[in-house]
Structure 1
Amino acid sequence: MLQLAMLSPLLRPGTSIVLTSSSSTYEGASATSLYAATKGAVVAMARSWASAMAPRGIRVNVLVPGPIESNLRSFLPDEARQEFERFVLNQVPLGRVGTADEAAAVALFLLSDDSSYVTGSQYAVDGGLIMH
C-alpha cells in the first residue's frame, strides 16, 4: 500500500483513477504467464485502492484491453507476429482487432462523471475475447 500512501495526498474527492490491465490476465496462455501475472496484480491493486479510497469519493477502475491495434508485438518477426494475431483473432467473437480510440472511449467514460457510481470494476475492451 506504499503506492497508495504516496498517491493519496495528491487526490481530491471525486477523482477517478483508471488503471490498465490486459485480457492476458484471463486467457491462461503459457507464453504470456509473467505478463499476465503482473496485469493480474494491477486488477488486485485497483480493487484494494477502490475500497480504501471510496470513503473519500475517489473511484478506481480497470480497463482490460484485448487485442488492440498497436506496435506492442512489433518486436516479433513478421511471420511470428502474423501467426500470433491469427491465433488471437480466431478467439475474438467480433473477429477483429480493436482500435486505440475504442479503448480510449471506455477509459474516458470511466474518467467522466457519467461513471460516478462505478468503482472497483473492470471493463473489458476485447471484442468478447474473455467472455468465455
Structure 2
Amino acid sequence: MKRRPVLRTGAGLVATVLGGCLGAPPRATGPRHAPDAPADQPRQTPSRPDLAVGTFDFEATDDDALRVFGTVENRSGAQRTATVAVTVRVGSDDLERETSVTVAADGTAKWAVTFDVAYDEFTSNGDLNVTLE
C-alpha cells in the first residue's frame, strides 16, 4: 500500500531531473552578421591556384614495383605546365620522383611515376606525398 507515495516521489524526481533537459530550446549567441572590414584594409578573397592535383593513387607494376599515378587539373583558360613531385617514404628512406605535365585550358592531364620499391614493402611501412612545383 505504500507504492503510491513512492511512485509519486519517483515521478516528481524524474520531472525535476528532466525539467532542465526539456526546458526552452537553446538560443543563438554571438553576432548575427560578420563584422565589416576596416576601411583602410578591404577584404580580399584568396585566389585559387590555376593548377591542382586532382586525384592520385598507387598500385603494383607487373614486376611488383610501386607505381604512383594521378591527374592534374587546370582551372584557367590557358594551357599550363606543372611539375608533379612525388615523395615516398619507406622506413627511414625518402625517395622522390618528378614528372612534367602539360594541361590544356580547363582540362585534366594524367601522370605516373614508378619507384624502385617493392609494392608490399610500401604498403606495410610507407608514406606518400604528391605536390605541384
- Structure with more of its chain in strand, by fraction: 2
User: Do these two structures clear the TM 0.5 threshold for a shared fold by scoring above it?
Assistant: no
- TM-score, normalised to structure 2, is 0.26
Higher alpha-carbon Rg:
2
- Structure with more of its chain in helix, by fraction: 1
Q: Which has the higher contact order (CA 8 A, sep 6+)?
A: 1
- TM-score, normalised to structure 1, is 0.26
